[in-house]
């Protein structure tokens, strides 16, 4: 096969998902006079985090949600941040709470995530939600894994019985996406930095999910011909361009379908944050 892979268009899929969410929010507003509320908390001045928070805020407004960003100074204490979360947990109009990571070093991230009401944890990182996912039950699922699965299901209507390899075992991406693949009846292998002969492991897979953070690490000749490749990686090259964990130019000649970077999983992440906010709204407020 040469130059055959179908490009999985995350940008268009995310736009369609946001439009659908927008219609649902409008229907809720018309029927009940209320809208779901998404609250994003940012501590400090990390430039990348500021950009992420601004785009989350903007897209939540676009779908008609009540979108609030709480921008706290870098010297905010852990106690002050916990107090802010307690306030948001107690407010019935707040449906989704997201604390933008990474937090400044003087704050214990685990302690902060634990303090978010699991019913409002739209990032899906609270241990209760992670535990539900591990048990095959439905809580709030982390946004990037959820977005990756939506793209995968678009490319492959039936996942049952397929061999899937996830490269990366982080709490944010690798582990939860592996759980979702298992729920979809894939045979799942989780690879990581200690995996022996990664190329051979990847070569067996009908589905490859790369979530490593190493530019173009997955080579074209690692890919089984016709496999579906979801590239979660976002890496900035010295020239400022973004690239994934997969060598796209090589892999596109071998794979059956592949996500580009940018324009693949990235746009799905925020769309899924909005989807989770709607899910949290329905679960809590009916
Ligand atoms: P982490 O750094 O938390 O995890 C990386 C994982 O990759 C680890 O499990 C690590 O293994 C594994 N790894 C590292 N080197 C190798 C190697 N040489 N061979 C095999 N496995 C290796 O990253 P994240 O999971 O948070 O993110 C992964 C990528 O996804 C990053 O590029 C990030 O920017 C991107 N990302 C994209 C998002 C999006 O919206 N599209 C959202 C979130 C992340 P070990 O556990 O053994 O150390």
Question: Cα–Cα distance between 35 and 179 in angstroms, integer?
Answer: 31
Ligand 1 in reach of 211 Cβ (< 6 A): yes
The reported pLDDT for the residue numbered 155 is: 96
247, two tokens: 């060598």
What lies within 8 Å, CB to CB, of 43 at 6+ separation is 72, 73, 74, 76, 81, 99, 100, 103, 104, 107
The reported pLDDT for the residue numbered 3 is: 62
The reported pLDDT for the residue numbered 225 is: 98
Helix, strand, coil percentages for the chain (3-state, nearest 5): 45, 15, 40
Whole-number Cα distances in Å, 48 to 51, 54, 55, 283: 5, 10, 11, 32
pTM exceeding the 0.85 threshold for the entire prediction:
yes
Ligand 1 geometric centre to CA of 22 (Å):
32
Please name each of the domains of the chain with its CATH number: 33-117 (3.40.50.10860), 142-266 (3.40.50.720)
The reported pLDDT for the residue numbered 1 is: 46
The reported pLDDT for the residue numbered 59 is: 97
Ligand 1 in reach of 177 Cβ (< 6 A): no
Per-residue pLDDT for the chain (286 aa), expressed as one digit of tens each? 456 899 999 999 999 999 999 999 999 999 999 999 999 999 999 999 999 999 999 999 999 999 999 999 999 999 999 999 999 999 999 999 999 999 999 999 999 999 999 999 999 999 999 999 999 998 999 999 999 999 999 999 899 999 999 999 999 999 999 999 999 999 999 999 999 999 999 999 999 999 999 999 999 999 999 999 999 999 999 999 999 999 999 999 999 999 999 999 999 999 999 999 999 999 999 8
What lies within 8 Å, CB to CB, of 161 at 6+ separation is 185, 186, 187
Question: Cα–Cα distance between 106 and 72 in angstroms, integer?
Answer: 14
The reported pLDDT for the residue numbered 71 is: 98
Ligand 1 in reach of 212 Cβ (< 6 A): yes
Whether 100 is catalytic? yes
Q: Any bridge partners for residue 210, and if so which? A: 167, 231
Ligand 1 in reach of 168 Cβ (< 6 A): yes
Kindly list the strands in the beta sheet with 163-167, ordered across the sheet, starting from the edge strand earlier in the chain: 6-7, 257-258, 228-231, 207-210, 163-167, 187-191
The reported pLDDT for the residue numbered 137 is: 92
Q: Any bridge partners for residue 189, and if so which? A: 165
Ligand 1 geometric centre to CA of 175 (Å):
11
Question: Cα–Cα distance between 211 and 101 in angstroms, integer?
Answer: 17
Handedness of CA 28, 274, 59, 148 (dihedral sign): negative
What lies within 8 Å, CB to CB, of 227 at 6+ separation is 205, 206, 207, 208, 254, 255, 256
The reported pLDDT for the residue numbered 96 is: 98
The reported pLDDT for the residue numbered 138 is: 81
Ligand 1 geometric centre to CA of 173 (Å):
8
For ligand 1, atom 18, name the residue with the nearest CA: 193
Ligand 1 in reach of 234 Cβ (< 6 A): yes
Cis before 147 (ω within 30)? no
The reported pLDDT for the residue numbered 2 is: 55
The reported pLDDT for the residue numbered 171 is: 95
For ligand 1, atom 39, name the residue with the nearest CA: 266
């Amino acid at each position: 096969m040469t130059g055959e892979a179908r490009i999985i268009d995350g940008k268009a899929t995310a736009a369609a998902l946001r439009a659908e969410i927008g219609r649902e929010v409008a229907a809720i507003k018309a029927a009940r006079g209320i809208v779901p509320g998404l609250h994003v908390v940012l501590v400090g001045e990390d430039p990348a985090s500021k950009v992420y928070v601004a785009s989350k805020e903007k897209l939540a407004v676009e779908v008609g949600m009540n979108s609030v960003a709480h921008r706290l100074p870098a010297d905010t204490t852990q106690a002050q941040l916990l107090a802010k979360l307690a306030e948001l947990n107690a407010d019935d109009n707040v449906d989704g709470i997201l604390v933008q990571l990474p937090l400044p070093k003087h704050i214990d991230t685990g302690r902060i995530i634990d303090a978010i009401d699991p019913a409002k944890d739209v990032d899906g990182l609270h241990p209760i939600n992670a535990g539900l996912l591990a048990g095959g039950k439905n809580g709030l699922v982390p946004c990037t894994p959820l977005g990756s699965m939506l793209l995968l299901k678009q490319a492959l209507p039936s996942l049952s019985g397929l061999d899937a390899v996830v490269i990366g075992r982080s709490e944010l991406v690798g582990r939860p996406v592996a759980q979702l693949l298992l729920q979809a009846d894939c045979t799942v292998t989780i690879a990581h930095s200690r995996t022996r002969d990664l190329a051979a492991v990847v070569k067996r897979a009908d589905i490859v999910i790369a979530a490593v953070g190493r530019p173009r690490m997955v080579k074209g000749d690692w890919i089984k011909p016709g496999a579906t490749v979801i590239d979660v990686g976002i890496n900035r090259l010295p020239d400022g361009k973004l690239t994934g964990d997969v060598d796209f130019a090589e892999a596109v000649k071998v794979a059956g379908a592949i996500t580009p970077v940018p324009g693949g999983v990235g746009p799905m992440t925020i769309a899924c944050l909005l989807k989770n906010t709607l899910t949290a709204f329905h679960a809590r407020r009916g």
